[in-house]
Structure 1
């Protein structure tokens, strides 16, 4: 089955056409800077090695991007890209969705009701769905939720120590995110370790512009670092991660910042960008640190310390640990981050193979621990699009 996977962000739209049986990307593309003065696109028919790139009109956004995507798929030269279903990445499904869901009026209303929990993500996701329904009227369309994989968390793991009525009446609890990524690398880790999924105990670490880690016990998520929103947890590119909630009150009462300003500060101006006062890009910060930039060094040190601290905390949620897994753009490609984390986590029984760590990634799975290491360390490139495509196909088959 060929599944069109659509991932609508606030200012971008990524897509893939995935052949679910082989796992191959037949086509992929990115529309970025949507809504700005200079929105652009890159489209590629991978199977036929043809590409197209260009610009949309000033201010054009998701609707125009999806119009162009539909035209691209219908071009005669792309007749190999006939799709039979559409899978949509949905960030927040609340407690309403424990798995993928066929998109209909009821599903859309339920996702809409979760938008207050993910105001930076769900509205864009919904916009992409509604426009896609106009273009692909005859195809089944499925929502795959970032939060669904973590619906196996126990109450002890997902409840905040605040008045219980806030959970009962308003659903305020920890949900977790990056579910498609954590689920994909969990299945891959089980395969690589030669263990049944139901006997696999790992900590998965997704490091990109957004970062999260999850404790996976017997193939199921039992704890994770993100919470009610994707703001909680690890230090990220522009998001603060964990902080004293009293800081919010101080910014409001003492510094006179509005709630909108505080929201923007913690989500868009903090993390690596805020600490370095330079960039949220790990590659730029590594270079700046090598050139002697003290703020870049500080940002990286905080990032690495918080990462190791969070992984150590997740270990307490598990009775056994077979391996830790690095994934995501930073996790797959930044050997220094992996090395720094593993040095601080040596007490867990992990022995790093420095040479293997240095050469790992580059689109391939690989162990970065020694053969004698009691707990293994593995790099696994994530494939959220393949996971979404497979869940879409499975849901339709069921």
Structure 2
């Protein structure tokens, strides 16, 4: 072979080698562009949920149905970065043993990428250690247990709404400042939900905690709370703090009216739904009840020209026709689903569980369509309480009327 031929041949190999090295360098970069954990692919993102479609909190099942409808809308719009959301939601009947069974199924059989908006304090507590041991994101839990923001103990879990202690601390401060000598009777459930609420209320009352003259608890399996209401009335209290869940809150409002008890009435924010709680109790019976909220009331004329309400109303008309758009639980589900889509969108092509938590911990004043103007989502690796502001409101017989300014209970 001539010298020129050998030189040409070596030059060819040099070019080929350079191309191969270039491809080798480029290949890992291309592979790193898309990263998946179980439940994610080029086509789909699998999300798991448990909700009480039956049982004592069945009225709250509309939350998950709303979320399913919202994800359907997102899929029809092209999905999240081109991927469809597969929302797998099982009924746990607000029963911790059932929650354990269904959560294991979601993680081990369905292989979901993450868990989203599981509802209830006792139900979520029954699985939180297992979920964290599996290192599966458990985002925007539909309960205000203070423990759900404890990022040191449960780094893979995150709440959504203000913690129960944060909310009830606001009520305690309000009563201390406006009814400094008022005698207080409290109704709460005999579980972690109830205990969290009592703790916050007493913290907010501060030196006025001695104004509590009666504390009565009920079992969530009980058919009624009529006898509990009679006991509270005869305590001589002029203030009724009603920390019952939806079904029992409605019973309490109705029974108080039946026995002629007309105290200053504080209602837990979880039970502020006009359609699911106040209407069954009787709207007139609910007049002047006070609660706190962080979301817009679709029936409030103040939002008639609001762009966020317009998007929500359009969603309801197309994807949930016939449902009451004024239902607080529908608004809640819409907000939660929109928050999750925000997090997933930020993940881009890195759909690993670790990155999902990184993005969920990096929200900075994110506003959702149906949050009050002064309320936003903000998180950090040291802050797993996305929503912390609330505003007091009073029921006028038809709608909730806000008063004061948004405040934090922490």
**TM-score clears 0.5:** no
* TM superposition score normalised by structure 1: 0.33
Higher relative contact order (CA 8 A, sep 6+): 2
What TM-score, normalized to structure 2? 0.32
Query: Radius of gyration: which is bigger?
Result: 2
